[in-house]
Structure 1
C-alpha cells in the first residue's frame, strides 16, 4: 500500500510554527522586561527626589 502525496504536518512545518510562537513570546517578554526596568528606574528617581 502506498501513501498519498498530501502535505501533512511534517516536522519542518511544526518547527516553523513553533519558531513563530517562540519569536512572538520572546518579543512580548522583552517588552515586559523593558516596561519593568523603566518602572524601576522611575521609582528610584522619585525616591531620590523625596530624600
Structure 2
C-alpha cells in the first residue's frame, strides 16, 4: 500500500498539470474574448439600423 514515486516523475507530472491548466486558461480567455466581440458587434447599430428618422410621426 505504499506508493513508489520516482523523484523525476512528480516533477514531470506537476509540469504537465500546469501545462494543461495553462492551455485551458488560454482557451477560456480566447472564448470569452470572442463572445465579448460578438456581443459588442451585435449591440452597435450598423449604418442607419436602430435609428429612428427625425421626421417619423411628425407629419404636420
| Normalised TM-score (structure 1) | 0.73
Which structure would you say has the larger RCO, counting Cα contacts within 8 Å and 6 or more residues apart? 2
Segments of structure 1 that go 5 or more residues without pairing to the other structure are: 1-7
Structure whose CA Rg is larger: 2
* Higher relative helix content: 1
| Normalised TM-score (structure 2) | 0.63
Aligned pairs, how many? 44
Segments of structure 2 that go 5 or more residues without pairing to the other structure are: 52-60
Q: Which residue of 1 aligns with 2:37?
A: 41
